[in-house]
Amino acid sequence: MPVGGGISQADDFRTVASALEFYLPAVLRKVHAFWKHESLDGVFHEIATKTALRQIEIAGLCIFISDQTLAPFHIQLRFASDVDEIEWLDCRLGEIRDDVMVRVPYNVYFNHGGNRAIAERLYSIEWRFHVGFGNASVDT
How does residue 140 score in pLDDT terms, banded at 50, 70 and 90? very low
- Which helix (DSSP H) or strand (DSSP E) does residue 26 occupy? helix 13-29
Confidence (pLDDT) at 113 = 55
pLDDT tens for 37-53 read 999 999 988 899 999 99
Which pLDDT band holds residue 111 (cuts at 50, 70, 90)? low
Give, for 114, the enclosing helix (H) or strand (E).
Answer: none
CB atoms within 10 A of CB 56: 20
User: Residues 68-91: what's their mean pLDDT?
Assistant: 94
Quick check: 55 and 75 in contact, CB under 8 A?
no
Domain boundaries, the chain: 13-130
Whole-structure pTM value:
0.88
pLDDT value, residue 4: 75
Could you report how far apart the first and last alpha carbons of the chain are, in Å? Answer: 20
